[in-house]
Amino acid sequence: MKRYLSLHTITLALVIVFVITAIASINGCAPTKAVAAKSGAQLWAENCQRCHNTPSPASFSAEQWETIGMHMQTRALITQAEREKIVDFLKSSR
């Protein structure tokens, strides 16, 4: 039982450390100007390859990219702003 409590405590401590570090390192719950200014192309290059190869814009139609963008937001948990920029980039680059 002690072992379970200890693991529970470690997990809780890690969660708290993550959250505190995150909050302490920033000025608020918003992206910095540099992050907010990122283009759809940059976000596409940075985020898609976290799980898989960066997709070719020509792979899907504009309508399909809208749907896939929503699906990917639920999987990769990118922010809404990131999703919109990436989808706009993919639609415009077809």
**Residues lying near another protein in the complex (CB under 8 A):** 3-4, 7-8, 10-11, 14-15, 18-19, 21-23, 25-32, 34-35, 46-47, 49-56, 59, 62-64, 66-68, 70-71, 73-82
Smallest gap from residue 32 Cβ to another protein (A): 5
Q: Cβ closer to another protein: 41 or 73?
A: 73
Helix (H) or strand (E) holding 71: helix 62-76
Provide the minimum distance between the beta carbon of 94 and another protein in the complex, in angstroms, as a whole number.
14
Whose Cβ is closer to another protein: residue 67's or residue 93's? 67
**Most distant pair of Cα atoms in the chain: their distance:** 58
- Copy the structure tokens of residue 94: 């077809």
C-alpha pair distances (Å), 59 with each of 11, 27, 32, 40, 79: 41, 39, 32, 17, 23
